[in-house]
Amino acid sequence: MFMLKYIIRNLFRHKLRSVLTVVGVAVAVLAFGLLRTLVGLWYAGAEHASDTRLVTRNAISLVFPLPISYLDRIRGVSGVSSVSYGNWFGGIYIEEKNFFANYAVEPRTYLALYPELVLSEKQKNDFILDRKGCIVGERLAKTYGWKVGDLITLKGTIFPGNWEFVLRGIYHGAEKATEERLLLFHWSYLNESVRQSFPSRADQVGFFMIGVKRPELAPEVSLAVDSMFKNSLAETLTETEKAFHMGFIAMTEAIMVAIQIVSYMVIAIIMVVAANTMAMTARERIGEYATLKTLGFKAGHLAGLIFGESVAISVLGGVLGVAATFPVAHWIEVELTQYFPFFSVSMETLLLELLAALSVGVVSGIFPTWRGATIRIAQGLKRIG
Protein backbone atom coordinates (compact mmCIF):
# COMPACT_ATOMS: atom_id res chain seq x y z
CA MET A 1 0.00 0.00 0.00
CA PHE A 2 2.77 2.34 1.01
CA MET A 3 4.69 1.46 -2.13
CA LEU A 4 1.67 2.13 -4.30
CA LYS A 5 1.22 5.54 -2.77
CA TYR A 6 4.87 6.26 -3.25
CA ILE A 7 4.71 5.29 -6.92
CA ILE A 8 1.69 7.49 -7.55
CA ARG A 9 3.32 10.42 -5.80
CA ASN A 10 6.41 9.89 -7.94
CA LEU A 11 4.28 9.99 -11.06
CA PHE A 12 3.22 13.52 -10.28
CA ARG A 13 6.65 14.91 -9.58
CA HIS A 14 7.29 15.68 -13.20
CA LYS A 15 3.78 16.37 -14.40
CA LEU A 16 4.67 17.49 -17.90
CA ARG A 17 7.03 14.62 -18.54
CA SER A 18 4.56 12.02 -17.31
CA VAL A 19 1.70 13.54 -19.28
CA LEU A 20 3.76 13.64 -22.47
CA THR A 21 4.81 10.02 -22.09
CA VAL A 22 1.26 8.90 -21.32
CA VAL A 23 -0.01 10.74 -24.40
CA GLY A 24 2.77 9.21 -26.49
CA VAL A 25 1.89 5.70 -25.37
CA ALA A 26 -1.80 6.39 -25.95
CA VAL A 27 -1.21 7.61 -29.51
CA ALA A 28 1.01 4.64 -30.30
CA VAL A 29 -1.46 2.16 -28.87
CA LEU A 30 -4.28 3.78 -30.81
CA ALA A 31 -2.30 3.65 -34.04
CA PHE A 32 -1.42 0.03 -33.38
CA GLY A 33 -5.07 -0.87 -32.88
CA LEU A 34 -6.27 0.96 -36.00
CA LEU A 35 -3.59 -0.61 -38.19
CA ARG A 36 -4.49 -4.06 -36.92
CA THR A 37 -8.14 -3.38 -37.63
CA LEU A 38 -7.26 -2.22 -41.14
CA VAL A 39 -5.40 -5.45 -41.85
CA GLY A 40 -8.31 -7.40 -40.38
CA LEU A 41 -10.73 -5.62 -42.71
CA TRP A 42 -8.62 -6.63 -45.66
CA TYR A 43 -9.27 -10.23 -44.79
CA ALA A 44 -12.86 -9.67 -43.68
CA GLY A 45 -14.29 -10.31 -47.13
CA ALA A 46 -12.82 -13.78 -47.11
CA GLU A 47 -13.67 -14.45 -43.46
CA HIS A 48 -17.34 -13.90 -44.09
CA ALA A 49 -17.47 -15.74 -47.40
CA SER A 50 -19.75 -18.72 -47.30
CA ASP A 51 -18.37 -22.23 -47.52
CA THR A 52 -21.48 -23.62 -49.18
CA ARG A 53 -20.87 -21.51 -52.27
CA LEU A 54 -18.34 -22.43 -54.92
CA VAL A 55 -16.99 -20.23 -57.69
CA THR A 56 -16.19 -21.81 -61.05
CA ARG A 57 -14.04 -19.79 -63.42
CA ASN A 58 -11.76 -20.37 -66.38
CA ALA A 59 -8.61 -22.21 -65.31
CA ILE A 60 -6.29 -19.92 -67.26
CA SER A 61 -7.36 -16.84 -65.34
CA LEU A 62 -10.30 -14.63 -64.55
CA VAL A 63 -10.13 -12.69 -67.79
CA PHE A 64 -11.20 -15.71 -69.81
CA PRO A 65 -14.89 -16.58 -70.13
CA LEU A 66 -16.71 -19.90 -69.97
CA PRO A 67 -19.49 -20.95 -72.34
CA ILE A 68 -23.00 -20.62 -70.92
CA SER A 69 -23.64 -24.16 -72.16
CA TYR A 70 -21.76 -25.46 -69.10
CA LEU A 71 -24.72 -24.43 -66.97
CA ASP A 72 -26.84 -27.54 -67.41
CA ARG A 73 -23.88 -29.88 -67.07
CA ILE A 74 -22.89 -28.28 -63.77
CA ARG A 75 -26.49 -28.52 -62.55
CA GLY A 76 -26.32 -32.26 -63.09
CA VAL A 77 -23.43 -32.81 -60.67
CA SER A 78 -24.61 -34.55 -57.53
CA GLY A 79 -24.49 -32.41 -54.43
CA VAL A 80 -25.26 -29.19 -56.32
CA SER A 81 -28.41 -27.47 -55.09
CA SER A 82 -28.46 -24.45 -57.39
CA VAL A 83 -26.28 -22.70 -59.96
CA SER A 84 -26.13 -19.06 -60.91
CA TYR A 85 -23.80 -17.29 -63.29
CA GLY A 86 -22.59 -13.84 -64.15
CA ASN A 87 -19.94 -11.53 -65.48
CA TRP A 88 -17.67 -8.99 -63.91
CA PHE A 89 -18.85 -5.91 -65.83
CA GLY A 90 -16.26 -3.39 -64.71
CA GLY A 91 -18.37 -0.37 -65.61
CA ILE A 92 -17.46 3.13 -64.52
CA TYR A 93 -19.96 5.56 -63.05
CA ILE A 94 -19.21 9.04 -64.49
CA GLU A 95 -15.49 8.95 -63.71
CA GLU A 96 -12.91 6.37 -62.88
CA LYS A 97 -12.42 7.26 -59.26
CA ASN A 98 -16.00 6.27 -58.42
CA PHE A 99 -15.02 2.65 -58.28
CA PHE A 100 -17.48 0.00 -57.18
CA ALA A 101 -18.03 -3.59 -58.20
CA ASN A 102 -20.78 -4.23 -60.75
CA TYR A 103 -21.85 -7.64 -62.01
CA ALA A 104 -24.21 -8.88 -64.68
CA VAL A 105 -25.95 -11.88 -63.09
CA GLU A 106 -28.92 -14.17 -63.51
CA PRO A 107 -31.09 -12.42 -60.90
CA ARG A 108 -33.42 -15.15 -59.66
CA THR A 109 -30.79 -17.75 -58.85
CA TYR A 110 -28.20 -15.23 -57.73
CA LEU A 111 -30.43 -13.66 -55.10
CA ALA A 112 -31.41 -17.15 -53.94
CA LEU A 113 -27.73 -17.99 -53.46
CA TYR A 114 -27.11 -14.77 -51.57
CA PRO A 115 -29.74 -14.54 -48.82
CA GLU A 116 -27.60 -11.90 -47.09
CA LEU A 117 -28.64 -9.37 -49.74
CA VAL A 118 -31.94 -8.39 -48.14
CA LEU A 119 -34.54 -6.89 -50.49
CA SER A 120 -38.23 -6.32 -49.96
CA GLU A 121 -40.39 -8.82 -51.85
CA LYS A 122 -41.79 -6.08 -54.09
CA GLN A 123 -38.39 -4.66 -55.07
CA LYS A 124 -37.07 -8.14 -55.70
CA ASN A 125 -39.90 -8.91 -58.11
CA ASP A 126 -39.58 -5.54 -59.81
CA PHE A 127 -35.90 -6.23 -60.39
CA ILE A 128 -36.45 -9.74 -61.72
CA LEU A 129 -39.20 -8.61 -64.08
CA ASP A 130 -37.46 -5.54 -65.49
CA ARG A 131 -34.80 -6.58 -67.99
CA LYS A 132 -33.05 -3.21 -67.71
CA GLY A 133 -33.40 -3.18 -63.94
CA CYS A 134 -30.59 -3.13 -61.43
CA ILE A 135 -30.19 -3.23 -57.67
CA VAL A 136 -27.55 -1.55 -55.51
CA GLY A 137 -26.44 -1.75 -51.90
CA GLU A 138 -27.60 0.79 -49.37
CA ARG A 139 -24.16 2.29 -48.86
CA LEU A 140 -23.68 2.84 -52.58
CA ALA A 141 -27.13 4.42 -52.90
CA LYS A 142 -26.29 6.75 -50.04
CA THR A 143 -22.94 7.73 -51.59
CA TYR A 144 -24.46 8.80 -54.90
CA GLY A 145 -27.90 9.79 -53.62
CA TRP A 146 -29.78 7.22 -55.73
CA LYS A 147 -33.43 6.47 -55.18
CA VAL A 148 -35.55 3.63 -56.54
CA GLY A 149 -36.68 4.53 -60.05
CA ASP A 150 -33.53 6.51 -60.94
CA LEU A 151 -31.67 5.92 -64.18
CA ILE A 152 -28.03 4.93 -63.72
CA THR A 153 -25.60 5.02 -66.63
CA LEU A 154 -22.38 3.07 -66.54
CA LYS A 155 -19.56 3.40 -69.05
CA GLY A 156 -18.35 -0.05 -70.07
CA THR A 157 -14.62 -0.81 -70.01
CA ILE A 158 -14.76 -4.45 -71.02
CA PHE A 159 -18.04 -4.12 -72.88
CA PRO A 160 -17.85 -0.80 -74.72
CA GLY A 161 -20.65 1.69 -74.74
CA ASN A 162 -22.90 3.49 -72.30
CA TRP A 163 -25.23 1.16 -70.43
CA GLU A 164 -28.39 2.46 -68.88
CA PHE A 165 -30.14 0.78 -65.97
CA VAL A 166 -33.26 1.52 -63.96
CA LEU A 167 -32.76 1.26 -60.23
CA ARG A 168 -35.38 -1.24 -59.07
CA GLY A 169 -34.25 -1.98 -55.56
CA ILE A 170 -31.86 -1.08 -52.77
CA TYR A 171 -30.73 -3.99 -50.66
CA HIS A 172 -29.19 -3.91 -47.22
CA GLY A 173 -26.77 -6.43 -45.78
CA ALA A 174 -28.01 -9.03 -43.34
CA GLU A 175 -24.71 -8.81 -41.48
CA LYS A 176 -22.35 -5.99 -40.74
CA ALA A 177 -19.69 -7.44 -43.00
CA THR A 178 -21.95 -7.84 -46.04
CA GLU A 179 -20.71 -5.86 -49.00
CA GLU A 180 -23.17 -3.01 -49.54
CA ARG A 181 -21.33 -1.41 -52.44
CA LEU A 182 -22.45 -3.62 -55.30
CA LEU A 183 -24.52 -3.04 -58.39
CA LEU A 184 -26.21 -6.07 -59.94
CA PHE A 185 -28.08 -6.18 -63.25
CA HIS A 186 -29.42 -8.74 -65.73
CA TRP A 187 -26.91 -10.92 -67.54
CA SER A 188 -29.40 -11.43 -70.38
CA TYR A 189 -29.49 -7.66 -71.00
CA LEU A 190 -25.72 -7.64 -71.36
CA ASN A 191 -25.68 -10.76 -73.50
CA GLU A 192 -28.21 -9.49 -76.03
CA SER A 193 -26.31 -6.28 -76.62
CA VAL A 194 -23.05 -8.19 -76.93
CA ARG A 195 -24.64 -10.58 -79.43
CA GLN A 196 -25.44 -7.65 -81.70
CA SER A 197 -22.12 -5.87 -81.49
CA PHE A 198 -19.54 -8.63 -80.82
CA PRO A 199 -21.13 -11.93 -81.87
CA SER A 200 -17.94 -13.82 -80.99
CA ARG A 201 -18.21 -12.79 -77.36
CA ALA A 202 -21.86 -13.72 -76.84
CA ASP A 203 -23.12 -16.57 -74.66
CA GLN A 204 -20.07 -16.44 -72.44
CA VAL A 205 -20.03 -15.97 -68.69
CA GLY A 206 -17.23 -14.96 -66.38
CA PHE A 207 -18.12 -17.26 -63.53
CA PHE A 208 -20.62 -19.80 -62.26
CA MET A 209 -21.75 -19.65 -58.64
CA ILE A 210 -22.59 -23.08 -57.30
CA GLY A 211 -24.60 -23.68 -54.17
CA VAL A 212 -23.84 -27.05 -52.58
CA LYS A 213 -26.25 -28.92 -50.33
CA ARG A 214 -23.80 -29.31 -47.44
CA PRO A 215 -20.42 -27.65 -46.84
CA GLU A 216 -18.62 -31.01 -46.57
CA LEU A 217 -19.61 -31.79 -50.17
CA ALA A 218 -17.65 -28.80 -51.48
CA PRO A 219 -14.38 -30.62 -52.29
CA GLU A 220 -16.19 -33.45 -54.12
CA VAL A 221 -18.32 -31.09 -56.14
CA SER A 222 -15.40 -28.91 -57.20
CA LEU A 223 -13.41 -31.96 -58.26
CA ALA A 224 -16.39 -33.34 -60.20
CA VAL A 225 -16.96 -30.04 -62.01
CA ASP A 226 -13.31 -29.54 -62.93
CA SER A 227 -12.81 -33.08 -64.17
CA MET A 228 -15.93 -32.80 -66.32
CA PHE A 229 -14.34 -30.03 -68.38
CA LYS A 230 -10.79 -31.35 -68.34
CA ASN A 231 -9.09 -31.11 -71.77
CA SER A 232 -11.89 -28.99 -73.19
CA LEU A 233 -11.35 -25.61 -74.78
CA ALA A 234 -12.28 -23.90 -71.56
CA GLU A 235 -11.02 -25.80 -68.56
CA THR A 236 -12.47 -24.72 -65.25
CA LEU A 237 -11.15 -24.06 -61.79
CA THR A 238 -13.64 -24.43 -58.96
CA GLU A 239 -12.97 -23.35 -55.42
CA THR A 240 -14.96 -22.20 -52.41
CA GLU A 241 -15.89 -18.56 -52.28
CA LYS A 242 -13.50 -18.17 -49.37
CA ALA A 243 -10.54 -19.55 -51.32
CA PHE A 244 -11.51 -17.38 -54.28
CA HIS A 245 -11.42 -14.23 -52.15
CA MET A 246 -8.22 -15.32 -50.46
CA GLY A 247 -6.59 -15.68 -53.86
CA PHE A 248 -7.20 -12.00 -54.50
CA ILE A 249 -6.06 -11.00 -51.06
CA ALA A 250 -2.90 -13.06 -51.36
CA MET A 251 -1.88 -11.00 -54.37
CA THR A 252 -1.78 -7.82 -52.33
CA GLU A 253 -0.28 -9.50 -49.32
CA ALA A 254 3.02 -7.67 -49.56
CA ILE A 255 1.37 -4.38 -48.65
CA MET A 256 -0.50 -5.93 -45.75
CA VAL A 257 2.70 -7.45 -44.41
CA ALA A 258 4.30 -4.02 -44.59
CA ILE A 259 1.42 -2.50 -42.62
CA GLN A 260 1.73 -5.22 -40.01
CA ILE A 261 5.46 -4.59 -39.63
CA VAL A 262 4.75 -0.89 -39.29
CA SER A 263 2.14 -1.50 -36.58
CA TYR A 264 4.81 -3.19 -34.47
CA MET A 265 7.25 -0.46 -35.30
CA VAL A 266 5.02 2.19 -33.78
CA ILE A 267 5.19 0.26 -30.53
CA ALA A 268 8.97 0.02 -30.87
CA ILE A 269 9.22 3.79 -31.30
CA ILE A 270 7.20 4.49 -28.20
CA MET A 271 9.27 1.93 -26.28
CA VAL A 272 12.36 3.94 -27.06
CA VAL A 273 10.66 7.15 -25.94
CA ALA A 274 9.36 5.61 -22.71
CA ALA A 275 12.70 3.97 -21.94
CA ASN A 276 14.29 7.37 -22.38
CA THR A 277 11.87 8.93 -19.92
CA MET A 278 12.48 6.23 -17.34
CA ALA A 279 16.25 6.41 -17.76
CA MET A 280 16.12 10.13 -17.01
CA THR A 281 13.83 9.72 -14.06
CA ALA A 282 16.06 7.10 -12.53
CA ARG A 283 19.18 9.16 -13.17
CA GLU A 284 17.74 12.16 -11.40
CA ARG A 285 16.79 10.15 -8.35
CA ILE A 286 19.99 8.19 -7.81
CA GLY A 287 20.65 10.16 -4.63
CA GLU A 288 17.17 9.37 -3.36
CA TYR A 289 17.58 5.68 -4.02
CA ALA A 290 20.80 5.69 -2.05
CA THR A 291 19.01 7.42 0.81
CA LEU A 292 16.22 4.87 0.73
CA LYS A 293 18.79 2.09 0.87
CA THR A 294 20.40 3.75 3.86
CA LEU A 295 17.04 3.71 5.58
CA GLY A 296 16.95 -0.04 5.11
CA PHE A 297 14.90 -0.51 1.95
CA LYS A 298 16.11 -3.52 0.00
CA ALA A 299 16.95 -3.76 -3.68
CA GLY A 300 13.58 -5.43 -4.25
CA HIS A 301 11.73 -2.42 -2.88
CA LEU A 302 13.62 -0.10 -5.16
CA ALA A 303 13.05 -2.34 -8.14
CA GLY A 304 9.33 -2.37 -7.41
CA LEU A 305 9.34 1.39 -7.10
CA ILE A 306 11.00 2.10 -10.45
CA PHE A 307 9.35 -0.74 -12.31
CA GLY A 308 5.97 0.16 -10.86
CA GLU A 309 6.30 3.72 -12.11
CA SER A 310 7.26 2.62 -15.60
CA VAL A 311 4.37 0.15 -15.85
CA ALA A 312 1.92 2.63 -14.34
CA ILE A 313 2.76 5.28 -16.96
CA SER A 314 2.43 2.83 -19.83
CA VAL A 315 -0.77 1.19 -18.62
CA LEU A 316 -2.30 4.61 -18.11
CA GLY A 317 -1.38 5.43 -21.69
CA GLY A 318 -2.74 2.07 -22.82
CA VAL A 319 -6.09 2.62 -21.12
CA LEU A 320 -6.31 6.08 -22.68
CA GLY A 321 -5.46 4.64 -26.08
CA VAL A 322 -8.09 1.92 -25.79
CA ALA A 323 -10.66 4.48 -24.70
CA ALA A 324 -9.78 6.67 -27.69
CA THR A 325 -10.05 3.73 -30.09
CA PHE A 326 -13.85 3.68 -29.92
CA PRO A 327 -14.59 7.28 -30.95
CA VAL A 328 -11.87 7.23 -33.63
CA ALA A 329 -13.14 3.97 -35.11
CA HIS A 330 -16.64 5.39 -35.11
CA TRP A 331 -15.42 8.53 -36.84
CA ILE A 332 -13.71 6.45 -39.53
CA GLU A 333 -16.88 4.43 -40.01
CA VAL A 334 -18.95 7.57 -40.50
CA GLU A 335 -16.51 9.77 -42.43
CA LEU A 336 -14.70 7.24 -44.60
CA THR A 337 -17.69 5.09 -45.28
CA GLN A 338 -16.92 4.68 -48.96
CA TYR A 339 -13.54 3.14 -48.28
CA PHE A 340 -14.43 0.92 -45.35
CA PRO A 341 -17.74 -0.90 -45.31
CA PHE A 342 -17.46 -1.08 -41.53
CA PHE A 343 -14.74 -0.41 -39.05
CA SER A 344 -15.30 -2.23 -35.83
CA VAL A 345 -12.45 -2.98 -33.50
CA SER A 346 -12.38 -6.55 -32.24
CA MET A 347 -12.03 -7.53 -28.60
CA GLU A 348 -8.79 -9.26 -29.48
CA THR A 349 -7.34 -6.03 -30.83
CA LEU A 350 -8.28 -4.14 -27.68
CA LEU A 351 -6.58 -6.77 -25.53
CA LEU A 352 -3.51 -6.63 -27.73
CA GLU A 353 -3.47 -2.85 -27.35
CA LEU A 354 -3.32 -3.24 -23.58
CA LEU A 355 -0.71 -5.96 -23.86
CA ALA A 356 1.39 -3.73 -26.09
CA ALA A 357 1.15 -0.92 -23.53
CA LEU A 358 2.14 -3.29 -20.74
CA SER A 359 5.14 -4.57 -22.68
CA VAL A 360 6.23 -0.99 -23.33
CA GLY A 361 6.16 -0.44 -19.55
CA VAL A 362 8.08 -3.61 -18.81
CA VAL A 363 10.76 -3.16 -21.46
CA SER A 364 11.35 0.50 -20.75
CA GLY A 365 11.61 -0.23 -17.02
CA ILE A 366 14.24 -2.97 -17.15
CA PHE A 367 17.40 -0.93 -17.52
CA PRO A 368 16.64 1.85 -15.03
CA THR A 369 15.36 -0.73 -12.53
CA TRP A 370 18.54 -2.68 -12.70
CA ARG A 371 20.60 0.46 -12.28
CA GLY A 372 18.53 1.76 -9.39
CA ALA A 373 18.45 -1.53 -7.56
CA THR A 374 22.16 -2.22 -7.79
CA ILE A 375 23.29 1.26 -6.79
CA ARG A 376 26.06 1.36 -4.18
CA ILE A 377 25.00 3.58 -1.32
CA ALA A 378 28.20 5.57 -0.98
CA GLN A 379 28.36 6.19 -4.71
CA GLY A 380 24.75 7.26 -4.90
CA LEU A 381 25.09 9.74 -2.07
CA LYS A 382 28.28 11.18 -3.51
CA ARG A 383 26.75 11.75 -6.90
CA ILE A 384 25.41 15.17 -7.66
CA GLY A 385 23.05 14.84 -10.60
Phi/psi of residue 100, nearest 5 degrees: -150, 160
**Angle of CA points 8, 11, 15, to nearest 5°:** 135
Residue in 92, 166, 319, 328 binding other proteins, rule: CB under 8 A: 92
Closer Cβ to other proteins, 113 or 332, answer by number: 332
Stretch touching other proteins by CB under 8 A, among 24-32, 48-56, 299-307, 344-352: 24-32
Give the residue from 198, 381, 354 showing the smallest Cα distance to 285: 381
Closer Cβ to other proteins, 21 or 369, answer by number: 21
Residue in 112, 174, 223, 280 binding other proteins, rule: CB under 8 A: 280
Q: Which of residues 257-276 bind other proteins (CB under 8 A)?
A: 258-259, 262, 265-266, 268-270, 272-273, 275-276
Question: What CA–CA distances, in Å, run from 181 to 178, 204, 220, 341?
Answer: 9, 25, 32, 8
Residue in 7, 10, 11, 21 binding other proteins, rule: CB under 8 A: 21
> Interface with other proteins includes 4 (CB under 8 A)?
no
In this structure, are residues 240 and 111 in contact, taking their beta carbons and an 8 Å threshold?
A: no
> Interface with other proteins includes 28 (CB under 8 A)?
yes
Helix axes 15-47, 299-335, angle to 10 degrees: 50
> Interface with other proteins includes 252 (CB under 8 A)?
yes
DSSP reduced 3-state for 159: coil
Closer Cβ to other proteins, 117 or 286, answer by number: 286
Residue in 5, 145, 147, 233 binding other proteins, rule: CB under 8 A: 233
Question: In the chain, where do the E strands start and end?
Answer: 53-58, 66-67, 80-88, 101-105, 117-118, 133-137, 151-155, 162-173, 182-186, 204-205, 207-212, 236-240
Question: What CA–CA distances, in Å, run from 291 to 34, 295, 306, 348, 375?
Answer: 45, 6, 15, 44, 11
> Interface with other proteins includes 151 (CB under 8 A)?
no
> Interface with other proteins includes 12 (CB under 8 A)?
no
Residue in 7, 10, 11, 31 binding other proteins, rule: CB under 8 A: 31
Stretch touching other proteins by CB under 8 A, among 28-36, 117-125, 207-215, 375-383: 28-36
> Interface with other proteins includes 253 (CB under 8 A)?
yes
Closer Cβ to other proteins, 23 or 358, answer by number: 23
* Size, binding site for other proteins by CB under 8 A: 55
Give the residue from 301, 283, 305, 293 showing the smallest Cα distance to 376: 293
Closer Cβ to other proteins, 135 or 322, answer by number: 322
The distance of closest approach from Cβ of residue 338 to other proteins in the complex, given in angstroms and rounded to an integer, is: 14
- C-alpha torsion 310→311→314→315, nearest 10: -160
Distance between CA 88 and CA 245 in Å, rounded?
A: 14
> Interface with other proteins includes 254 (CB under 8 A)?
yes
Residue in 75, 129, 160, 264 binding other proteins, rule: CB under 8 A: 160
- Kindly give, in sequence order, each residue whose CB lies less than 8 Å from that of residue 285, ignoring residues fewer than 6 positions away: 372
> Interface with other proteins includes 69 (CB under 8 A)?
no
Rounded to an integer, what is the distance from CA 76 to the centroid of its chain?
37
Question: What CA–CA distances, in Å, run from 385 to 10, 113, 288, 365?
Answer: 18, 74, 11, 20
In this structure, are residues 40 and 33 in contact, taking their beta carbons and an 8 Å threshold?
A: no
> Interface with other proteins includes 10 (CB under 8 A)?
no
Q: Which of residues 348-377 bind other proteins (CB under 8 A)?
A: none
> Interface with other proteins includes 156 (CB under 8 A)?
yes
Closer Cβ to other proteins, 5 or 230, answer by number: 230
* DSSP 3-state percent helix, strand, coil across the chain (nearest 5): 60, 15, 25
> Interface with other proteins includes 60 (CB under 8 A)?
yes
> Interface with other proteins includes 90 (CB under 8 A)?
yes
Q: What is the largest CA-CA distance in the chain?
A: 98
Residues making contact with other proteins (CB under 8 A): 16-17, 20-21, 23-24, 27-28, 30-31, 59-64, 90, 92, 96, 155-158, 160, 200, 231, 233, 235, 237, 247-248, 250-255, 258-259, 262, 265-266, 268-270, 272-273, 275-277, 279-280, 284, 384-385
